[in-house]
Copies of this chain bind each other. A is one copy, B any other.
């Protein structure tokens, strides 16, 4: 396959193959536990599930394109992946999920207890890894990101089932569940490289906008995607009564009869056969999917614009292509 035909995250993976190998080795070494055999069982299940390792690649890319030559971008990339994995374990407990990336979730294979405690373990391990960098500013960034993530998750919990949830609350939830870790991943890459403040800010802005675009697309695919492609089931968010962007936009335009439908299915949780199809019809009727798609494209454009402050570098081009690719998943 020619390089141009490869997907941007595959080009990133190829370019960063060396340090990513070091990241994977570090992840494997630190996911182990001397005493508790349940820990490597659960973590190995997660590691084997793979995923694109997008977040650690963002850290490595940011550090390298800012000229970093030291060893600690590897620690930070592993840190970011550990935080991500810990939140996935806890998310699956909270959402009572049964599938993740097309495989049974840890809470299903073992139990909720193991998912809660192994998540705590991975979070602690991430913390040890970042302390090893000896860089207080990256610690500050990652501590703040962790708090934003947790706060966003709680906010999502209380915003679910509540038709008053608006786009501003949605954005806070999305920053918590996705964008805070994306922006921390890129920002700490710049910070560890000692990049000028304008570049550090650009990296933050890129990660923030990319994360928001990514999450909006994810929320769109929940109504438009194909189960095999995402490893999720169509309509999961509807069944879990989550107020994602398409739904918020449709609720804002609902007439009295439609409002009663949303109130019954989302607020009261009384869902019947055919309700998901009707919900999707309403999303189309009000152009809610189209409008959410436009928002995703706008955030992707914002991400690309932020990159203009960064040095010309093959990785900068790949990050630009990545922003386009993220939104290309929308049909």
- Residues of A at the B interface (CB closer than 8 Å) are 33-39, 87, 90, 93-94, 112-114, 116-118, 120-121, 123-125, 127-128, 131, 134, 136, 139-140, 143-144, 146-147, 149-155, 157-158, 169, 172
Across the interface, A143 reaches (CB within 8 A) one of B113, B118, B124, B152, namely B124
Contact call A147/B124, Cβ cutoff below 8 A: yes
Q: Closest Cβ of chain B: how far from A225's Cβ, in Å? A: 25
Closest to A95 in B: B113
Not counting A36-B154, A37-B158, A123-B150, a sample of 8 additional A-B residue pairs whose C-beta atoms are within 8 angstroms of each other reads A38-B155, A90-B117, A90-B120, A121-B151, A124-B149, A125-B147, A127-B127, A128-B147
Contact call A120/B117, Cβ cutoff below 8 A: no
- The interface residues of chain B lying within 8 Å CB-to-CB of A116 are 90, 93-94, 116
> Contacts A113-B157, A131-B143, A139-B131 known; A120 to B36 CB distance under 8 Å?
no
> Contacts A131-B140, A136-B134, A143-B127 known; A120 to B38 CB distance under 8 Å?
no
Q: Closest Cβ of chain B: how far from A133's Cβ, in Å? A: 10
Residue pairs across A and B with Cβ atoms less than 8 A apart, 22 shown, are: A33-B154, A34-B151, A36-B152, A36-B155, A37-B158, A38-B154, A39-B151, A87-B120, A90-B117, A94-B117, A114-B154, A117-B157, A118-B154, A121-B147, A121-B151, A123-B123, A125-B147, A127-B127, A127-B146, A128-B147, A131-B136, A131-B140
Contact call B112/A153, Cβ cutoff below 8 A: no
Contact call B136/A35, Cβ cutoff below 8 A: no
- The interface residues of chain B lying within 8 Å CB-to-CB of A118 are 150, 154
Closest to A30 in B: B147
